[in-house]
């Protein structure tokens, strides 16, 4: 029996692989559901989803609703919307959470409109107040204030950025209900021909373990090559601050900050980046931040674990060479052990 007034997470997947943001939403959703004394469910839409459904139970869901059909193999906005709206009308969740991914951003407003409710986009925190309302927190006014938003209507809907919330540790002793739902297909308005993501290695900026971010300290677009060489040496992905996107040097999906990606890599190199509030909001939770800047008073040094005051045109090639030398020494030592 489905629980009403529950917390529901849209579990985005691609080819049966659940997007990590869904596990982060389950982590936060678990907390909210426990505070509200209700059930946490996940919705999966796609093709061949049995294994993914089980993983969502291990990730914290009490119940998973599965719309499994070969026609849903790639994202189709009309059919996704229809499936989830029908489910939400029946189950009547109090809260619906989606990742602020391209798919979540496309789906969220359409669901909210169909359900006659509001949606807070790009939340960076979620809380429950004393009366059981969801408090949706997000930066506003260019990131200078944090807005606390409540929705009078139900469900209360929010998209949440990737790498903001914490996933629960995978617990394969957890059990839950997996419910297969009938799929009512609509005539497609468009057909997705291809899904492309990330750099040549397939890693997107948001998912990368190491990010090398260039800022306006770079003098011309050709100089991005220096940062790409560093990124290649450290096994990272190239990213940038907003002026570089505005100048057309790199694509928006490489942007870090308020208007782009939120990242939480193991190492974040900020090269020629001043550290504006709009930039910091997207990277300050990185495990280790290395900043290279000629200006010792640059704000980026306030959040940096390692600060190098100097000219990037001098420092970056030397850093890249040092990493390459150390890597090839490591490779030789490993070969000697084999
Ligand atoms: C609504 C709104 C949303 C925004 N969203 C974003 C966002 O998502 N992401 C984002 O990044 N910005 C965003 N911005 C823009 C933001 O306010 C800043 O303008 C931007 O972050 C500055 O980028 P930067 O640090 O590369 O450039 P600058 O602030 O110009 O800093 C360049 C830095 O490079 C250093 N430098 C110069 N030469 C060298 C050298 N040779 N070697 C080493 N260092 C050198 C300088 O000392 C300086 O600190 C937004 C702004 C608004 C109003």
Query: Domain residues of the chain, as ranges?
Result: 7-180, 210-337
Query: What is the whole-number distance in angstroms between the Cα of residue 243 and the centre of ligand 1?
Result: 6
Confidence of residue 6 (pLDDT cuts 50, 70, 90): very high
pLDDT at 330: 67
pLDDT at 196: 52
Pick the CATH number of 210-337 from 3.40.50.1000, 3.40.50.1220, 1.20.1260.10, 3.40.718.10: 3.40.50.1220
* pLDDT at position 199 over 70: no
Which secondary-structure segment (H or E) carries 21?
helix 20-36
State the maximum Cα–Cα separation within the chain, in Å, rounded to a whole number: 66
| Contact in structure between 246 and 197 (CB atoms under 8 Å) | no
C-beta 161 within 6 A of ligand 1: no
- CATH top-level class for 7-180? alpha beta
Instruction: Give CA–CA dist 10/94, Å, rounded.
Output: 14
Instruction: Give CA–CA dist 143/110, Å, rounded.
Output: 26
When the pLDDT of each residue in the chain is averaged and rounded to a whole number, the result is 92
Say whether 210-337 and 7-180 share the same fold. yes
Summarize the confidence of residues 83-96 as an average pLDDT.
97
The SS3 of residue 217 is: coil
Q: Between the CA of residue 102 and those of 96, 122, 260, what are the distances in Å?
A: 17, 12, 11
- What are 39-56's pLDDT values in tens digits? 999 999 999 999 999 999
- What are 268-292's pLDDT values in tens digits? 999 999 999 999 999 999 999 999 9
Query: What is the whole-number distance in angstroms between the Cα of residue 72 and the centre of ligand 1?
Result: 41
pLDDT at 324: 93
Query: What is the whole-number distance in angstroms between the Cα of residue 12 and the centre of ligand 1?
Result: 32
Instruction: Give CA–CA dist 180/256, Å, rounded.
Output: 38
pLDDT at 195: 56
DSSP letter for each residue of 267-298: EEEEES----HHHHTTTTT-SEEEEEES-TT-
Which secondary-structure segment (H or E) carries 315?
helix 312-337
- The minimum-distance atom of ligand 1 relative to the CA of 295 is 47
- What are 299-330's pLDDT values in tens digits? 999 999 999 999 999 999 999 999 999 887 76
69 vs 162 pLDDT, higher one: 69
Query: What is the whole-number distance in angstroms between the Cα of residue 277 and the centre of ligand 1?
Result: 10
- What are 220-268's pLDDT values in tens digits? 999 999 999 999 999 999 999 999 999 999 999 999 999 999 998 999 9
Q: Alpha-carbon Rg of the chain, whole angstroms?
A: 22
Number of H helices, E strands in the chain: 9, 17
Q: Between the CA of residue 34 and those of 26, 129, 146, 177, what are the distances in Å?
A: 12, 13, 25, 17
First to last CA, the chain: 57
* pLDDT at position 188 over 70: no
* pLDDT at position 141 over 90: no
| Contact in structure between 183 and 72 (CB atoms under 8 Å) | yes
C-beta 277 within 6 A of ligand 1: no
């Amino acid at each position: 029996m489905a629980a009403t007034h529950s917390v529901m997470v849209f579990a985005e997947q691609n080819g049966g692989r659940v997007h990590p943001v869904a596990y982060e939403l389950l982590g936060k959703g678990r907390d909210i559901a426990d505070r509200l004394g209700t059930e946490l469910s996940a919705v999966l839409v796609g093709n061949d989803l049995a294994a993914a459904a089980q993983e969502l139970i291990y990730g914290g869901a009490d119940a998973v609703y599965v719309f499994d059909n070969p026609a849903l193999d790639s994202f189709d906005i009309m059919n996704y919307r229809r499936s989830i709206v029908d489910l939400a009308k029946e189950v009547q969740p109090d809260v619906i959470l989606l990742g602020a991914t391209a798919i979540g951003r496309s789906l969220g407003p359409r669901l909210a409109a169909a359900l006659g409710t509001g949606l807070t986009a790009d939340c960076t925190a979620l809380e429950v107040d004393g009366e059981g309302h969801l408090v949706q927190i997000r930066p506003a006014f260019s990131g200078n204030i944090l807005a606390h938003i409540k929705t009078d209507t139900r469900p209360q809907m929010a998209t949440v950025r990737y790498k903001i919330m914490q996933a629960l540790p995978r617990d394969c002793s957890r059990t839950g209900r997996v419910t297969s739902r009938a799929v009512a297909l609509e005539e497609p308005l468009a057909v997705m021909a291809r899904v492309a993501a990330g750099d040549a290695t397939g890693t997107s900026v948001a998912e990368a373990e190491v990010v090398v971010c260039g800022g306006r300290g770079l003098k011309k677009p050709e100089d991005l090559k220096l940062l790409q060489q560093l990124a290649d040496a450290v096994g990272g992905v190239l990213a940038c601050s907003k002026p570089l996107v505005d100048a057309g040097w790199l694509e928006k999906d490489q942007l870090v900050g308020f208007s782009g990606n939120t990242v939480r890599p193991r190492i974040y190199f900020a090269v020629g980046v001043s550290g504006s509030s709009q930039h910091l909001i997207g990277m300050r939770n990185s495990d280790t931040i290395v900043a290279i800047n000629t200006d010792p008073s640059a704000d980026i040094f306030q959040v940096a674990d390692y600060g190098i005051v100097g000219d990037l045109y001098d420092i970056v090639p030397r850093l890249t060479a040092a990493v390459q030398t150390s890597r090839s020494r490591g490779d030789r030592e490993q070969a000697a052990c084999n």
